[in-house]
């Protein structure tokens, strides 16, 4: 078994995505599906009901009455919010422990995942990709799941990675690839394959750092990439890899976004930060 095979076999240590969340992800990728179909899945899945009701009835949402069913939650909070809660609930378990090697504090990887998912969703809504917002949200949420497995290998090779980043001009993911033989984005894509995600979702996870030039022309992946950059700029998930990633201004140009748009997105994310921090404590 090669070291890379050893790392890939670590995917089996993750808690698999529950069937409901996997079905939502598949529908989110299918252009012919509707949010009504997603709602139908959620209300007919008894396993999710208890956790959704617990979250919805927390003071955080400030609802005027008790939520007694998933249908209630959809009426009171809106379907989009409930879909996001299901996806967060499905993925939170894997992010409970911060991975070694990335210099992240307790819960920081999870915070980064959730804030970047919300940021990517808002970018999608504001820049013409509203119909794909659940797909873009999911890709941003799961893009760094490879770090959970890679962590101990990064910790072991940290000195070599650090030299490449600080003395040779490598980005962190380029250095991971060079030293370890695979980077966390490729590993996230492997997770997606193992969990039978759709091709588009896997593609977005694999290319979220845009190291492949071709991916820079893919608008959905670009939104995930920009959300990641924005979160790092405001200090979410800035561990050892911190800002050691490349900023490709051509991505903004291709998306017809200006620096002002980027600044506004940074401000919006900063503004929502406190609210999302409270939500994170509930999931």
Interacting residue ranges for Fe ion, rule: CB under 5 A: 144
- Shortest spacing between CB 185 and Fe ion, in angstroms: 6
The two three-digit tokens of residue 22, written as one number: 């996997």
In a 13 Å sphere around the CA of 59, the CA atoms on its Cβ side amount to 1
The dihedral formed by the CA atoms of 245, 249, 253 and 255, expressed in degrees to the nearest 10:
10
- Shortest spacing between CB 138 and Fe ion, in angstroms: 15
- Shortest spacing between CB 188 and Fe ion, in angstroms: 8
Query: Residue with CB nearest Fe ion?
Result: 144
**CB nearer Fe ion, residue 38 or residue 236:** 236
- Shortest spacing between CB 136 and Fe ion, in angstroms: 15
**CB nearer Fe ion, residue 38 or residue 154:** 154
**CB nearer Fe ion, residue 84 or residue 144:** 144
CA dist 77 and 93 (Å) reads 23
Which spans in the chain are helix H? 3-9, 19-29, 35-43, 46-56, 70-77, 79-91, 108-126, 133-142, 146-156, 158-167, 172-180, 184-194, 199-206, 219-233, 249-254, 259-280
């Amino acid at each position: 078994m090669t070291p890379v095979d050893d790392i890939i076999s670590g995917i089996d240590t993750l808690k698999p995505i529950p069937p409901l969340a996997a079905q939502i992800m598949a529908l989110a990728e299918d252009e012919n599906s509707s949010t009504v179909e997603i709602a139908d899945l959620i209300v007919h899945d008894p396993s999710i009901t208890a956790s959704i009701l617990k979250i919805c009835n927390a003071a955080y949402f400030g609802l005027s009455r008790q939520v007694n069913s998933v249908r209630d939650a959809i009426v009171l909070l809106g379907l989009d919010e409930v879909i996001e809660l299901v996806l967060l609930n499905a993925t939170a378990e894997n992010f409970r422990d911060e991975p070694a090697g990335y210099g992240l504090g307790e819960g920081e990887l999870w915070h980064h995942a959730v804030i970047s998912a919300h940021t990517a969703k808002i970018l999608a809504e504001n820049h013409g990709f509203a119909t794909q917002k659940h797909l873009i949200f999911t890709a941003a949420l799961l893009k760094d799941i490879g770090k959970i497995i890679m962590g101990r290998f990064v910790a072991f090779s940290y000195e070599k990675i650090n030299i490449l980043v600080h003395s040779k001009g490598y980005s962190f993911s380029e250095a991971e690839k060079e030293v370890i033989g695979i980077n966390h984005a490729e590993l996230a894509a492997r997770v997606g394959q193992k969990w039978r995600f759709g091709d588009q979702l896997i593609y977005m996870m694999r290319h979220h750092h845009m190291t492949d030039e071709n991916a820079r022309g893919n608008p959905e992946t670009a939104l995930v990439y920009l959300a990641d950059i924005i979160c790092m700029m405001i200090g979410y998930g800035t561990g050892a890899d911190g800002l050691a990633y490349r900023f490709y201004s051509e991505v903004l140009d291709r998306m017809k976004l200006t620096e002002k748009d980027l600044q506004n997105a940074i401000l919006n994310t900063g503004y929502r930060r406190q609210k999302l921090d409270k939500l994170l404590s509930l999931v």
